[in-house]
Amino acid sequence: MKILITGAAGFIGSHLSHSLSARGIEVIGVDNLNTYYSTRLKLDRLADLGVPETDLDSPGGAISTRYPTLRMYRGNLADRAFVESLFAAHPFTHVCHLAAQAGVRYSLEAPLSYIDSNITAFAHILEGCRHWEVDHLVFASSSSVYGLNGHIPYSTSDNVDHPVSLYAATKKSNELMAHTYAHLYRVPCTGLRFFTVYGPWGRPDMAYYHFSRAILEGTPIQVFKEGNMRRDFTYIDDIVEGIMRILESPAQPNPNWDTSRPDPATSPAPYRLYNLGNDQPVALLDFIGILENELGRKANTIMMPMQPGDVAQTWADVSDLKRDIGFQPSTPLSEGIRAFVKWYKTYHRP
C-alpha cells in the first residue's frame, strides 16, 4: 500500500497516520493547517508524529523522524494544480480523504468555506483517483447527513434528502459525487458516516473538549435543548480500526441491487456507505456526569434551547458494518473519556 491521507494534521488523520505508519505502510499526508481551530494543536499532532514543522513547505515535504515511511505536505486541496502534482509524484494505491471544513454551527457563519473545502477539494481528489487509477477511495461523511430523518437508529438505507446544515449538505454531496465516479469510472469508493468522534488530541470545537476546559476553569457551560439530547459517542481508536479494515476491503458492486427498490448504501457500481458509530447513544446530561467524575469537579450548567443545524439524537445502526467487515466500535464511554481527560491534563496542564 501507498496511502494518501488528507487532513493528516487533523484529529482522525493524525491518529490514522500513527497507526498505518507504525505498520510500516507508506503514508503521504496533506493538510492546509487552517485556523478554524488552534494551528498550534495541529502542529503538535505533527510533532508527535515526528514531522518537522520547518520542512512542511519544502518541495519534497517533511519526512518523519519517528516513522521513515511517513511524509507530510502543507497544501490546499482546493488548488487543482497542487492535487494533480501530488498524484503525479506519488502513485497511490489507496486514498483516505478526511480533510474538510468541519463544524455544524460554523457553517451558519461561513458557508462559502464549506464549498471550497468540502466540494471543490473533493472533486479534485476524485479526479486524482480517476486518472491515477487508485484501488480504493475511502472518504469521511458524517452522521449529520441524516438531518430530519426520524428513523432511529440511523441506517445507511434511510433517506437522507433533508439536511439541516450546509455542512451536512456538503457531506451528502460528497456521497453523490463519489457514487458518480464509481459508476462512470469504476473507482471503488466507500463513504464512512462518523458519529461524534472523541478522544486524545481531539478537536477543541467539540462539546466534550469545550466542557472539559470550562469545568476545570469553573466557567459555565451551555447545555442545548435543556439537556434533552442524545449522542452516539465513538472513541478515536475504534474509528481508526474501522478505517484501516475498510481500506483493505474495496467497495464491490451489489449484484442484487434493485432499481425498483434502490438501496442508498449500495450500488451496481463499486460503491458503499457505512455508519461508524458506537451503537449506544448517551444522554447529554449523563455524558456530562461522566466528564465531571473523571475531572473531579462539577459543571456549572446553563440550559439553552435547541440550536439551528442541530439534531436531537444520533444513533448508528452498524449491522452492515458488522456483517461485511466483521467489526463494531465497542469502547465504553467512561473508558474513552478517562483517556481523553488524562491526555487533556498532560497537554494543557490546567
Given 73, 146, 154, 167, which residue is catalytic? 167
CA distance 250 to 300: 47
CA proximity to 92, closest of 2, 203, 216, 219: 2
Instruction: Name residues whose C-beta falls within 8 Å of residue 272's C-beta, 6 or more positions apart in sequence.
Output: 189, 190, 191, 251, 252, 265, 266, 324
CA distance 194 to 306: 22
Instruction: Name residues whose C-beta falls within 8 Å of residue 35's C-beta, 6 or more positions apart in sequence.
Output: none
Element spanning 28, H or E: strand 26-31
CA proximity to 197, closest of 308, 278, 294, 303: 278
Q: CA separation (Å) from 85 to 32, 54, 135, 217, 293?
A: 16, 21, 19, 46, 50
Residues pairing with 136 in the sheet:
94
Q: And the C-alpha cell for 240?
A: 481508526
**For 144, phi and psi rounded to 5 degrees?**
-60, -20
Residues pairing with 71 in the sheet:
28, 63
Pairing, β 94-97 against β 2-6 = parallel
Q: How many CA atoms lie within 13 A of 195 on its CB side?
A: 30
Q: And the C-alpha cell for 153?
A: 437508529
Written as one string, the DSSP assignment of 47-82 is HHTT--GGGTTSTT-EE-SS-TTEEEEE--TT-HHH
Written as one string, the DSSP assignment of 194-253 is E--EESTT--TTSHHHHHHHHHHHT--EEEGGGG--EE--EEHHHHHHHHHHHHTS----
* Residue 37: active-site member: no
Contact 143, 155 (CB under 8 A): no
Catalytic residues: 167
